Amino acid sequence: MNAPEKARIDAIDLGAEFRDAGIAEVLEALEHDLVGLAPVKRRVREIAALLLVDRVRQRLGLSTQAPSLHMSFTGNPGTGKTTVALRMAEILHRLGYSRRGHVVAVTRDDLVGQYIGHTAPKTKEVLKRAMGGVLFIDEAYYLYRPENERDYGQEAIEILLQVMENQRDDLVVILAGYADRMEHFFASNPGMKSRIAHHVDFPDYHDGELGDIAERMLAQWNYRFDPAARLAFAEYITLRRQRPHFANARSIRNALDRMRLRQALRLFEQGNPLDADALITLTEADVRASRQFASPLPATESDDVRNLDFDPERDTDRIDY
């Protein structure tokens, strides 16, 4: 049907399309701002390229089916799932697959009600707010609670599925969570799995990458390590990783927060006049005062009662002097 039109347009400059869409700078920023995550960046690039090509095809009358854009981001805590979701929304917006490009981040509490008849309006309200943008459901597996057959989560899942299917043009859903439990969630909700086109796995960061992340965070806050502190922090990362509740970049962030606290106290107590350099420098002492260096790795903690708790990040925010 479109054959004559197809013949007329013979050369398509994908490079020009790429520039016009303005996604180059988003991808560039993604590459530049986020340390590591090579497989994730590659997947995002792939998805962006697919959508770009799809858009060109559509203009030539080749493609008819709107691509399914729902995604699942799996990975351990603190591996950048939320950050990448924000970038993804930006990319979808620039390519015209998302009209507004805003992200509505929710968890189970925002979707599931407390009594009969509460869930549907609550879920629908969230969906309405997310229309035209991206709905980011963090720890999506909490929606499904098999141990309680009267749990209202199932109702939220059903409404979600319906909208994911029928209003694909209006809404992109990104589910995020830890890999093993997401796998379990998908196994018990095959409808959900089949409606999600893109599964992106976020690897853990290496020690070196975490070091880079720490440096970047500090630079952002106008702090820096002195050379000895940098070495000590590399040691800290190795030690911290062996401890339970390790949450990648988030643990690093919390550790840096604690080091800033210690630095502030140190400066406060020494009482001498300060210069700007002292205010921005974290020293080895600030790093080494961490609990990680003091106590040996507790062997009993793995079968500790606390590990029965479902929230692996429970302890990561605790201040450990």
Partner 1 sequence: MRITQGCFSFLPDLSDAQITAQVHYCLRQGWAVAIEYTDDPHPRNTYWNMSGLPMFDLQDPAGVISELNACRRANPGTYIRINAFDPTQGWETVRMSFIVQRPDSEPGFRLVRQETRGRSLHYTMESYAVARHPEGTRYRA
Residues that bind partner 1 (CB under 8 A): 99-100, 102, 121, 125, 127-129, 131-133, 167, 170-171
Quote the least distance from Cβ 30 to partner 1, whole Å.
Answer: 23
- Judged by CB, which is closer to partner 1: 133, or 211? 133
SS (H, E, C) the chain: CCHHHHHHCCCCCHHHHHHHHCHHHHHHHHHHHCCCCHHHHHHHHHHHHHHHHHHHHHHCCCCCCCCCCCEEEEECCCCCHHHHHHHHHHHHHHCCCCCCCCEEEECHHHHCCCCCCCHHHHHHHHHHHHCCCEEEEECHHHHCCCCCCCCCHHHHHHHHHHHHHHCCCCCEEEEEECHHHHHHHHHHCHHHHHHCCEEEEECCCCHHHHHHHHHHHHHHCCCEECHHHHHHHHHHHHHHHHCCCCCHHHHHHHHHHHHHHHHHHHHHHHCCCCCHHHHHEECHHHHHCCHHHHCCCCHHHHHCHHHHCCCCCCCCCCCCC
Quote the least distance from Cβ 106 to partner 1, whole Å.
Answer: 12
- Judged by CB, which is closer to partner 1: 77, or 101? 101
Quote the least distance from Cβ 103 to partner 1, whole Å.
Answer: 10
- Judged by CB, which is closer to partner 1: 35, or 112? 112
Quote the least distance from Cβ 26 to partner 1, whole Å.
Answer: 19
- Judged by CB, which is closer to partner 1: 47, or 127? 127
Residue 177, strand partner residues: 74
Quote the least distance from Cβ 131 to partner 1, whole Å.
Answer: 4
- Judged by CB, which is closer to partner 1: 129, or 193? 129
- Judged by CB, which is closer to partner 1: 128, or 206? 128
Quote the least distance from Cβ 133 to partner 1, whole Å.
Answer: 6
